Structure 1
């Protein structure tokens, strides 16, 4: 997408910015796969008329805020997220929003800077007003969480909430043997229940598979119950919800028993 944008960039006039899904790609937002192969460029004009050209979708947004990706003028991350509300399913809108306020996790646990803050997103939603997508934005904004590592983790969290379980904590720090601190994808710290999402790359990458096994062993050694989830559990969470609910009940009963019999 950045190469396509660079090819079109010399045609941009003053007050014109890349926007919508083009801006999202330039900002690195994880859109659904089908958009990755799109050869359409979205261009927003802050003033004047919309761009009309082959392969270009033109927009006019007088209050568009400019930012830059390398040398390319792009609508700001916060406003770009708002513009995606008319293009993405509600759950994926949350997943992209999670990325916007989370950044990417780096080896060793550090993260890249977030594209914007929750406050900036909130202001952008307020500025968006009652335009198309306003209902989806009002639903998605309170569900955004920072520290999320992938869209599938977001979808997993939403599936858990939608099925009546308490919302799990994202990326909570767990201190384990050897002075290490691990961050399970989702978890219930009071019950010591962790939920780890495992995509196909966890299975096909030998090093990652071995690292995952070691993570699980260390978490279990520290007293945590680890529940592993896949894409099948997101598509049909029935079994997963039952397993999580049972784990939470078992842990609650254990805590009560220990409190009654401290010796």
Structure 2
């Protein structure tokens, strides 16, 4: 068996062009060995997790031309925003007047007007509000609202929320700059429906489903102080009526700690006199009419003013 020549230590966890011989110092033959990753044409990498969006973008980074940035669904994924599915290809935006990126595993876009670009994980990414506009032609109104909800809602740790990626005003400004380009009508439909507070894509879908059925709009994740002094946050609530709606997603089957925390919250709310409605994916799909009839009946019952 032929012994492989060792690769330079500085290559571990990096990506590089095959032609950059001075950087990698390896022969072309060595770069086709099975221990070397080939994420994109003319690029090699070592030790990157190519199923992870950050590492996939790091693998593409050697091919980025001046002024290019990661965009569309790739930008959303880099900002850890909710999408219906993870982007298979890397989306790259070229500056005005430049040719689109092309090649295996990349979807190139050409900008008519250069959007603002920020750095995250050292990568150039189209700013969140503008990435939201870019996805208007690809997402449903519900998913575009859910994306907007996530952008304007900082991640919560206990009672402390991190800063949001952007404000609703920033989304409004970005939509105005988008003008009449493709997706403008969807942006106009989604913008007034975005709310601060939603913490998952399905929570946003649930809120929109309730409102579109003609029911009062519930508040996403309001703080509820219990008699013990503990503060809990039901997914959606009608605080004046002490009604909470709790979405049961797949994470409750895979994350035992999260499941136990959510179960305790529901029990504490019920003990405090709240009526707790547990909601599943079927309630938003196959059993939607029955679920909405139940919420309507619950709201019609006498309760706390």
Q: Is the pair's TM-score, using the shorter chain for normalization, greater than 0.5?
A: yes
2:76 matches 1:30: no
Q: Which residue of 2 aligns with 1:45?
A: 94
TM-score, structure 2 as length reference: 0.77
Contact 1:90 1:136 in 2 (8 A): yes
Q: How far is the alpha carbon of 1:229 from its aligned partner? A: 0.6
For the 8 Å contact 2:237–2:245, the answer to whether it is kept is yes
Q: Which residue of 1 aligns with 2:202?
A: 152
Per the TM alignment, residue 90 of structure 1 is displaced from its structure 2 partner at its CA by: 1.6
Aligned residue pairs: how many?
A: 250
State how 1:23-172 maps to structure 2 within 5 Å: 23-33=75-85, 35-36=86-87, 38=88, 40-55=89-104, 56-61=106-111, 62-106=113-157, 108-172=158-222
Instruction: Name which of structure 1's ranges 175-184 and 48-57 shifts more when overlaid on structure 2.
Output: 48-57
Secondary structure at 2:240's aligned position in 1? coil
Distance of 1:114 and 1:213 partners within structure 2: 28
Q: Structure 1, residues 170-193: CA drift from partner, whole Å, max 9, x if none?
A: 111111121111111111122111
Q: Return the offset for 1:221.
A: 2.5
CA contact (8 A) 2:94 2:101 kept: no
Deviations 1:243-262 (A, max 9, x none): 1111111135x75xxxxxxx
Q: Is the 8 A contact 1:42 1:58 kept in 2?
A: yes
Give 1:259's aligned residue: none
Q: Distance in 2 between matches of 1:191 and 1:216?
A: 16
CA contact (8 A) 2:101 2:109 kept: no
Instruction: Describe the superposition over 1:48-93 as per-residue Cα deviations: whole angstroms up to 9, x where unpaired.
Output: 2222421332222223111111211111100000001111122111
Per-residue CA deviation, residues 78-135 of structure 1 (Å, 9 max, x unaligned), is 00000011111221111111111113232x2423321111111100000000000001
The answer to whether residue 73 in structure 2 is matched with residue 21 in structure 1 is yes
Structure 2 residue aligned with 1:5, among 57, 81, 91?
57
TM superposition shift of 1:214: 2.3
C-alpha RMSD of the superposition:
1.7
Q: Is this contact kept in 1: 2:94–2:110, CA < 8 A?
A: yes
Gaps of 5+ in 2: 1-52
Partner of residue 209, structure 1: 259
Larger RCO (CA under 8 A, 6+ residues apart): 1
Give the CA deviation at 1:210: 3.3
1:195 match: secondary structure: strand
Partner of 1:226: 276
Match of 1:261 in 2: none
C-alpha spacing 1:20/1:222, structure 2 compared with 1 (3 Å): same
Q: CA deviation at 1:201?
A: 2.5
Higher helix share: 1
Structure 1 window deviating more from structure 2 (159-168 vs 5-14): it is: 5-14
Query: Could you tell me the TM-score, scaled by structure 1's length?
Result: 0.89
Aligned residue in 2 for 1:260: none
